[in-house]
Amino acid sequence: MAYTYPVMSLSDEFYFFPRASHAIQYLNCLDSLDKQKIKQDISYIRALKQNLERLNTKQMDLETRIDWQLLRQSMAGFLREFQQVEIWQSDPNLYLKIIIIGIEQIVNKLSMIKTDIREELTSRIKQIPRLLNEARLNLRKSHFFIKKQQFK
């Protein structure tokens, strides 16, 4: 998840997304919202959540139970937004937020770690057309675009 969705994995702005601090390793990448990959990720997270729910929590210490509950809630949030709401097919702002926050993460987070951020910044900027193309393909069924067509 951190590799496919590094921007959302690092930002509190995407409240529905599981946090993955090791996404900082992928600051040269921009999230991919490829339809097939999203469907695979939904199936994967749904299966993980089912396995997680089968665990016997009575034998867990308090800290582990808290982590278990937070992980379950995080997975439920992802499934709600990506499977039920289908935010990636209905909200054009998602793509814009990924781009803006993705650039901001490099400027703010990475500049604290190293002085030369040009390589990562350039890499993310070069991936913006790919993400916008994914938006174009994914948002065809969006209520936003359907309503816009009605005014023509």
Identify the band that residue 151 occupies on the pLDDT scale cut at 50, 70 and 90: very low
pLDDT score, position 145: 54
Please check the confidence at residue 91 and state whether its pLDDT lies above 70: yes
Please check the confidence at residue 152 and state whether its pLDDT lies above 70: no
Question: pLDDT tens across 33-76, in order?
Answer: 999 999 999 999 999 999 999 998 888 999 999 989 988 999 99
Question: Reduced to 3 states, what is the DSSP secondary structure of residue 97?
Answer: helix
* Closest to 145 in 3D by CA, of 90, 97, 98, 99: 90
Q: Can you give the C-alpha Rg of the chain in angstroms?
A: 17
Q: Report in angstroms the alpha-carbon separations of 24 from 6, 97, 105, 126, 143.
A: 7, 18, 9, 18, 34
Q: Give the residue, 16 or 100, on which the prediction is more confident.
A: 100
Cα torsion angle, 122, 126, 127, 132, sign = positive
Question: pLDDT tens across 1-23, in order?
Answer: 889 999 999 998 998 888 888 88
Length of the chain: 152
Question: pLDDT tens across 104-148, in order?
Answer: 998 887 777 777 888 989 999 999 999 999 999 999 765 555 455
Q: Taking the CA of residue 31 as centre, how many other CA atoms within 13 Å lie in the half-sphere pointing to its CB?
A: 29
pLDDT score, position 137: 93
pTM score:
0.83
pLDDT score, position 141: 62
pLDDT score, position 125: 96
Q: What residues does each domain of the chain span? A: 6-150
